[in-house]
Structure 1
């Protein structure tokens, strides 16, 4: 016969027992992952699985709402979910033996499946989920059994200072504190031992064979205007990696295979010996909304992809390179974009004068001018497979995005901002515009539906970088609507019609409202 605690207070203690048991589950899984399989943490594996299956609209919503903090939000959401599920398991176990254990078993099975289906999984990847499940189930059974003895009507421990009460509280306290210490220590240890920060800091790259020349007038000194080169700390980050992959240059290998005459394998040192060159390239994420900030320009050091592919001798009929990240992400890049001598597609190793930051692909990533990142800018690159669009699909293609995605001609107003009132009188409207591989010929601004006025452009660094622009304006008090549009060097004007991000990038003229205060 099942015991049911008679006091309503037992439910709170049961929920607490479930939460502590969940903490034991996670802590044991983390310490096992630290010892046997660093990439098999069930919580992180489950988070990566969620990223893989989330629908396109949810992905875009998360980026819009949280920007670069979208993965932190996911981890916090998973943590809250685990907390609630663990509390529910405690309540179920209190009412019926093994009911809560079943919840933990299901959670463990989910973690196990997520870990074993990740790229690079081995049989050892099963251990963290298995160990955590067993530990969580055992602790839940023990703690709820102690709670039953304490809360059972007429039991010897029913008093405020009974031995069963002390046993339950001691068990819960020791379990909770131990789980926090062990789990936190294991996660810190995993991060510390897999960190390449010290290796990256000590890395000395060879002097490049060539450097870019930044012409006079390339950067306009206007408050509120985006800088010509985006600092690494401010450069947007959008990828599918829940945790930043940690790969040391000494362990890095690039394999070029598929439809090739000769399979090629390169070490990091061999790549450097091919000779680095400096490039200035603007990158844009397909998730960038009209007027958005998921775009940036950097100086890159790298080796032309075409030189690496030339060693492999792509076969006739191939039209795509499927690039692969160490974490399993793939991108489909047209082969002709990578072999075109007029396009500076590179394997980059440095960004703005320093080795690539870990979150931007250290030690090697792809940078391809004129293509959205999801089809070209593979971070933590380890493989390039020469193939065809008909034969292979990349990560985002079956999720509703185009297999090929040239960047759309776009322009943006940086200042004045919609959320900041400006004083009346002389003002400057300024922003950036980009048309990678083609270049910007003209930017025009419309104020309150009036005639289009031509803005002054900065001197472009190259056709692969954005340009800055400005228009002097005598601002009068009140609200004003500003609209911007650009024309590229081929005479093509930016599309006016608004289209969504999917399947291959948004379009539309940016329109913003500016508030101008009163004189005095």
Structure 2
């Protein structure tokens, strides 16, 4: 076997793969939709061990998702290389038995079949079409890359420069473009105005503090600006749903299956509600927790239109990115569970689930489903997307977080932060220095609603040059938060937040 020829065929296959993907990515970007290989990237997130995934997300931050895309591309390039070996030319030694046309037919069928498989898993029609396009383009790309290693007459001028760019330089440029798809697809949405224009529905200004000396410098604002509201999710590229084409379907165990357009939803009575949302990935000292004024329609009013049957016990939320979560009807807070279409007086952005998302105060963020398309009433409680991967988190665990610690003088320190009790509320926050007795903090009370965090502050006496500050919250029933430290996975973090301070 000619190993040099084998190597050339393999390299040609690996080069052909990103070249075939690039037009498909462009098609998706020009429509503001997820890429053709989004389902494969999603598998990376699902099957990466959760402790490792959380570590990577924490360490790498916004770079983690492009790296996941790069990993998916690398895997596909490996497959492309193997297909390149199979598709040898009639003038080369054949590494595998069989007539050359049959081998090319096999490669064509394999790549087209892969494109169809990705299309079936795609969340949008455009993404599905892009996946099939990539499958169709692999063989033409392979025929071209197979010519790159051939000797050619000596060229001059522009043709020589262009030829020098073929091979590794071109392939690396294409791979870099593919791995940063999220960046330039978002840019395409903005430049070509593909998405929903954010509209102000009503004037909004954050409420004034109810207690003196709030806010404390370094403290999280009581109402989070939309641009600073935390974002976390499973997608490399979020789906783009245009409000004018959006519909909500309410089906399942109902007497009156109902479909509502965006305009019809906005004409229903509006409910405005301050609520804090906390991500299940958030550790006790984390900042994946934010508060906004949400505006939307009560889910109870929408269900009244569809008239659930007596056998219906569960509400399943279905999203455009094939995400789903379920909740028992008995667990819904009638006056607070919303289908939200605005934050802080403005219509939702794509990042936050436009045009409509669920809002379930007191439950972890993943249950507040974004890009919502359907409500389904069932008699059973099916496992949701994250439950199927091992998560067991339900209602939010209470937490008191320290945001700021300022040494005032030789014996006093000012400590401040936020506390959130979920559905249990916050009645008090206590802070201590090292193992000293707990001291009660001053709250910026009353809270904006029963479903928001509370800002707190306290001035404590200190003696040592290095000491530790610890905070805990007491809920509305008088119970202190769980002091037992638990990791984020699988049930959500718990424990007390402690920081070290040095004078």
Note closer, same or farther for the CA distance 1:212–1:334 as it changes in structure 2 (3 Å cut).
Answer: farther
- Residue 442 (str. 1) matches residue 428 (str. 2): yes
- Residue 396 (str. 1) matches residue 390 (str. 2): no
1:114 alignment partner in structure 2: 118
Shift of 1:118: 2.6
1:370–1:436 Cα contact (<8 Å) kept: yes
Q: Distance in 2 between matches of 1:352 and 1:193?
A: 23
1:454 alignment partner in structure 2: 440
- Residue 480 (str. 1) matches residue 474 (str. 2): no
Q: Distance in 2 between matches of 1:121 and 1:106?
A: 21
Note closer, same or farther for the CA distance 1:202–1:239 as it changes in structure 2 (3 Å cut).
Answer: closer
Q: Helix, strand or coil: the match of 2:56?
A: helix
Q: Distance in 2 between matches of 1:453 and 1:140?
A: 71
Residues 224-243 of structure 1: pairs in structure 2 closer than 5 A: 224-243=218-237
1:405 alignment partner in structure 2: 394
Note closer, same or farther for the CA distance 1:318–1:218 as it changes in structure 2 (3 Å cut).
Answer: farther
Q: Deviations over 1:101-137 (max 9, x none)?
A: 9999977755542332233559745522312321332
- Residue 499 (str. 1) matches residue 486 (str. 2): yes
Pick from 1, 4, 24 the counterpart of residue 19 of structure 2: 24
Q: Distance in 2 between matches of 1:381 and 1:310?
A: 19
2:354 alignment partner in structure 1: 362
Q: Deviations over 1:169-223 (max 9, x none)?
A: 8546357669968996997589636989576336453x59x99976623982211
Q: Distance in 1 between matches of 2:373 and 2:38?
A: 22
Q: Distance in 1 between matches of 2:22 and 2:65?
A: 21
1:386 alignment partner in structure 2: 377
Q: Helix, strand or coil: the match of 1:506?
A: coil
- Residue segments in structure 2 that go unaligned for 5+ positions in a row: 97-102
Q: Helix, strand or coil: the match of 1:437?
A: helix
Query: What is the TM-score when the length of structure 1 is the normalising length?
Result: 0.79
1:441–1:488 Cα contact (<8 Å) kept: yes
Residues 311-390 of structure 1: pairs in structure 2 closer than 5 A: 311-338=305-332, 340-341=333-334, 343-375=335-367, 377-390=368-381
Shift of 1:82: 6.0
Q: Helix, strand or coil: the match of 2:498?
A: strand
1:128 alignment partner in structure 2: 133
Shift of 1:425: 5.0
Q: Distance in 1 between matches of 2:186 and 2:415?
A: 49
Note closer, same or farther for the CA distance 1:314–1:63 as it changes in structure 2 (3 Å cut).
Answer: farther
2:27–2:130 Cα contact (<8 Å) kept: no
1:323–1:331 Cα contact (<8 Å) kept: yes
2:99 alignment partner in structure 1: none
Note closer, same or farther for the CA distance 1:124–1:67 as it changes in structure 2 (3 Å cut).
Answer: closer
Pick from 126, 148, 152 the counterpart of residue 143 of structure 1: 148
Note closer, same or farther for the CA distance 1:293–1:183 as it changes in structure 2 (3 Å cut).
Answer: closer
Q: CA RMSD in A?
A: 4.2
Q: Helix, strand or coil: the match of 1:468?
A: strand
- Residue segments in structure 1 that go unaligned for 5+ positions in a row: 151-156
1:143–1:172 Cα contact (<8 Å) kept: no
Note closer, same or farther for the CA distance 1:451–1:256 as it changes in structure 2 (3 Å cut).
Answer: same
Q: Helix, strand or coil: the match of 1:358?
A: coil
Residues 197-346 of structure 1: pairs in structure 2 closer than 5 A: 200-201=196-197, 203=199, 205=201, 207=202, 216-217=210-211, 220-338=214-332, 340-341=333-334, 343-346=335-338
Give the stretch that moved more between structures: 16-25 or 453-462.
16-25
Q: Deviations over 1:57-83 (max 9, x none)?
A: 343333332345532332244456667
Q: Distance in 2 between matches of 1:25 and 1:48?
A: 20
2:469–2:501 Cα contact (<8 Å) kept: yes
Shift of 1:300: 1.1
Query: What is the TM-score when the length of structure 2 is the normalising length?
Result: 0.82
Shift of 1:387: 1.2
Q: Distance in 2 between matches of 1:114 and 1:108?
A: 10
1:153 alignment partner in structure 2: none
Shift of 1:411: 1.0
Q: Distance in 2 between matches of 1:73 and 1:34?
A: 19
Q: Distance in 2 between matches of 1:492 and 1:244?
A: 40
Give the stretch that moved more between structures: 471-480 or 305-314.
471-480
Number of residue pairs aligned between Structure 1 and Structure 2: 486
Q: Distance in 1 between matches of 2:308 and 2:389?
A: 28
Give the stretch that moved more between structures: 425-434 or 85-94.
85-94
Q: Distance in 2 between matches of 1:309 and 1:33?
A: 35
Q: Distance in 1 between matches of 2:165 and 2:372?
A: 45
Q: Distance in 1 between matches of 2:305 and 2:4?
A: 73
Q: Distance in 2 between matches of 1:84 and 1:118?
A: 22
